[in-house]
Structure 1
């Protein structure tokens, strides 16, 4: 079809050219002859215009045909969709749905009420069970608290009994050692002892570290043990220094401090600290100090007891009965009156705080 249109278009163009050419020739002949000038020239132009009009008409028809063919092709392309739309519009409406009425809903609502009632019954039963269990647990806790309190009371009583037993044991040991003094070491009258220490005397210093530390702490004082040792020796030529203290195996700072004390000349007598049930700590070395004070009496002339504890009153009397001098050094406000009465001399550290800090 497209080939035919092209051929027709060519023929029209050829006819248009021939008409134009013939019109031009006719116009020329008419002009030469001068006879038919007014007839031939308008006719020639009319023929030209007619051919041109026919050509334009043909082109418009050809364009219209092409548009028609394109529209037909589009319709054929969308034909399935049109068929579906047509089927959708021509399909009859479905049957209307049936709605639930009160007659249908009544048994359902009744069943829901029954289920809610049963659920409330179950919840109430569970609440009662849980309440009973809570009461039982509370009773068990109350019984446990009572048992714990009774156990604490027994523990406190046991600690008191242990302390009393330790005091009795200490008194018995001191009594035993006092009775084992050789007969040759009889008591020397007090008038035979000088109240002052000479440089040639052998001196033994016994430091009750726990008593000294707590007394100083209560007064807000920190003792310099180097200055204290220099003061206690008092230029004595022969001197032994014993320091009795409790130790904590895991306390590295304390271990370092005790090592430093050893380098300064202290001999450390220690016992591991015992932690009590109430959280307090204690390491009682009164027995060890008392025994050393009595047993070492032959190795010294003067004993310097650095403590204000009245428990040392009896051991002091024991070594005094052997002719030994006993000097007591402590903080006066923290010293037993009984110990002050038996001391051959006494030094109150509160009067020389500037020399020991």
Structure 2
């Protein structure tokens, strides 16, 4: 595992839907993205922070998107799709993976905010390419395969007052 040092260039990839739903189901609270970004970057150099969000036409979501931008996140927004049977879907997994692989040659560390086990293969690939991977998620809802695939896992449940509003 590559060590942490101040001269590392860091990219942050935030799976906002995963964090939102987990924080609400476990705590009925929202994520403190300011504190989360500060904890992820530390004294290192932030190259890029991207929050992947879904537009579902809820009243406060535009304020949330703007707040993310004010904190320092670039927002990538996908509209939710409603199918003929009434089901809805929106998923950023592929976009997050492609952006991570594209950013990998430009950074030393990629920090992923998610508990989704689908990202285990991404972490394995990034580590193979020499990029340190760090995951922030809630312990009880973070897939074991994701924890096993990353260099470092931060359980946000262990410091919920810091990471939740």
Please give the TM-score of this superposition, normalised by the length of structure 1.
0.44
2:11 to 204, 210, 224: 204
Task: Label 1:343 to 1:252 Cα distance change in 2 as closer, same or farther (>3 A).
Answer: same
Match of 2:52 among 244, 255, 263: 244
Q: Which has the higher strand share?
A: 2
Please name the residue that 1:271 is paired with.
78
What pairs up with 1:159-308 in 2 under 5 angstroms?
A: 193-194=2-3, 197-220=4-27, 221-248=29-56, 250-276=57-83, 279=86, 281-308=88-115
Q: Distance in 2 between matches of 1:243 and 1:207?
A: 5
Root-mean-square deviation (CA, aligned residues, Å) is: 1.7
Q: Which runs of 4+ in 1 moved over 6 A?
A: none
1:351 to 147, 154, 158: 158
Change (3 A) 1:213 1:340: same
- State which structure, 1 or 2, has the greater radius of gyration over its C-alpha atoms: 1
Point out where structure 1 has 5 or more consecutive residues left out of the alignment: 1-189
Partners of 1:233 and 1:239 in 2: how far apart? 10
Contact persistence 1:246–1:282 (CA under 8 A): no
Distance 1:331 1:278, change over 3 A: farther
Work out the CA distance in 2 between the residues paired with 1:238 and 1:261.
Answer: 15
Q: 1:340 aligns with which of 125, 147, 155?
A: 147
Task: Please say if 1:325 is aligned against 2:136.
Answer: no
Larger RCO, structure (CA 8 Å, separation 6 or more): 2
C-alpha distance in structure 1 between counterparts of 2:30 and 2:87, whole Å: 21
Counterpart secondary structure, 1:223: coil
- Matches of 1:297 and 1:290, distance apart in 2: 10
Which ranges in structure 2 are unaligned for 5 or more consecutive residues? none
Higher helix share: 1
Write out per-residue CA displacement over residues 283-326 of structure 1, whole angstroms, 9 at most, x where no aligned residue.
Answer: 10000001111111011101101111111111111111111100
